[in-house]
């Protein structure tokens, strides 16, 4: 488990992180989202031991990060937002260098390199110089570098920022494969990415953690009503009358063969869905709407 206990970080008079308290269970994927300058990168740099907290404690697997930095760094893999890679070595040489730095046994290093390059789709680029790699290839190589020592905890800072859609999808798909037995902290600007990959979301604004919960719970808390579009084969008068009298339902729009209805939850629609339904669409706002509800109006 990872625990932030009233952690603050000051840079001069600026408080980049303000009394952050958060617990991350083993084997979960956590999304860290927030506006630019909210404190996301500060939080993950504190977690990785790159920065020291001005106040509070960070406990990882029962160890205080400030007292046991070396032991903890051995179980963390970190992909920074801009992973500067040495240009001159070949891809395999780069991974070997970092693997040996992390203490990967020499007799296992080549096997580990081959496994990782295969996983990220670079098995045929092992003997290519890093200087010849495209941005997307560099990002995948940087992920391999972060994983070379098989860390228990993996921290991704904007892993798909500035990448083309195809490469971004490949990286997201790769992260999904890691979810089986790793704890993952994902810092991202993309709400779609967070929804697709994460078990829980921490929303940060002005250094404060505004919310931390599952996506489902965040929507329940901050989005009071759900919106559904229901196509009906026969718009019967009795069903329309019943809907109009139902305090739990509100018709937002009515078309020739469909209704857009607001409701607290699916259960409120039970009797409507027993009719001849042509189609059903959930129009409930996404995580982005929760984000805007919490921080949007204050950052306009």
What pLDDT does 195 receive?
87
More confident residue, 18 or 240: 18
What pLDDT does 77 receive?
93
Residue 225 in this model has a pLDDT that exceeds 80? no
- Structure confidence by residue, pLDDT tens digits, 48-90: 999 999 999 999 999 999 999 999 989 999 998 887 888 899 9
Q: How far is 268 from 243, CA to CA, in rounded Å?
A: 10
More confident residue, 286 or 105: 105
**157 and 82 Cβ atoms separated by less than 8 Å:** no
Please enumerate in sequence order all residues whose Cβ is within 8 A of that of 68, keeping only pairs 6 or more positions apart, or say none: none
pTM over 0.85: no
Overall average pLDDT of the 149-170 stretch: 88
Lowest mean pLDDT among 10-14, 23-27, 118-122: 118-122
Residue 223 in this model has a pLDDT that exceeds 80? no
Confidence band of 145 (pLDDT split at 50, 70, 90): very high
What pLDDT does 222 receive?
76
Whole-Å CA distances, 189 to 34, 240, 241, 275: 7, 42, 44, 41
Q: What domains can you pick out in the chain, each with its CATH number?
A: 2-220 (3.40.50.300), 224-284 (3.30.70)
More confident residue, 300 or 236: 236
Q: How far is 282 from 260, CA to CA, in rounded Å?
A: 10
Whole-Å CA distances, 55 to 22, 25, 37, 212, 270: 15, 22, 20, 21, 52
Residue 300 in this model has a pLDDT that exceeds 70? no
Residue 212 in this model has a pLDDT that exceeds 80? yes
pLDDT above 90 covers what percent of the chain? 43
What pLDDT does 297 receive?
54
Confidence band of 280 (pLDDT split at 50, 70, 90): confident
Residue 183 in this model has a pLDDT that exceeds 90? yes
Overall average pLDDT of the 277-300 stretch: 73
Q: Residue-wise over 93-119: b if at least 16 C-beta within 10 A, else e?
A: ebbbebbeeeebeeeebeebbebbbeb
Element (H, E) at 78: strand 76-79
- Given the structure tokens 């009906």, which residue do they identify? 232
- Structure confidence by residue, pLDDT tens digits, 243-266: 888 888 888 888 888 889 888 777
Residue 188 in this model has a pLDDT that exceeds 60? yes
Longest distance between any two alpha carbons in the chain, whole Å: 77
Mean predicted lDDT score pLDDT of the chain: 88
């Amino acid at each position: 488990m990872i625990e932030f206990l009233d952690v603050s970080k000051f840079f001069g008079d600026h408080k980049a992180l303000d009394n952050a308290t958060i617990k991350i269970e083993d084997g979960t994927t956590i999304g860290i989202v927030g506006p630019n300058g909210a404190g996301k990168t500060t939080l993950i740099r504190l977690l990785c031991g790159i920065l020291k907290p001005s106040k509070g404690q960070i406990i990882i697997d029962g160890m205080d990060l400030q007292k046991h930095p070396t032991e903890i760094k051995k179980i963390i893999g970190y992909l920074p937002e801009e992973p500067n890679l040495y240009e001159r070595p070949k891809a395999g040489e780069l991974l070997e260098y970092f693997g040996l730095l992390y203490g990967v046994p020499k007799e296992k290093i080549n096997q580990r390199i081959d496994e990782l390059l295969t996983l990220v789709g670079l098995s045929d680029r092992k003997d290519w110089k890093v200087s010849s790699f495209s941005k997307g290839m560099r990002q995948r190589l940087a992920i391999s570098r972060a994983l070379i020592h098989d860390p228990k905890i993996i921290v991704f800072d904007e892993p798909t920022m500035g990448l083309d859609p195809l490469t971004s999808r490949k990286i997201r798909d790769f992260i999904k494969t890691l979810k089986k037995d790793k704890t993952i902290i994902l810092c991202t600007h993309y709400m779609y990415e967070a929804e697709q990959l994460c078990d829980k979301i921490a929303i940060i604004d002005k250094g404060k953690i505004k919310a931390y919960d599952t996506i489902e719970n965040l929507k329940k808390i901050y989005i009071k009503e759900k919106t559904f579009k229901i196509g009906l084969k026969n718009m019967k008068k009795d069903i329309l009358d019943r809907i109009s009298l139902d305090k739990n339902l509100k018709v937002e729009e009515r078309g020739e063969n469909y209704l857009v209805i607001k409701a607290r939850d699916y259960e409120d629609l039970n009797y409507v869905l027993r009719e001849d339904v042509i189609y059903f669409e959930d129009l409930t706002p996404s995580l982005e709407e929760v984000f805007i509800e919490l921080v949007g109006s204050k950052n306009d």
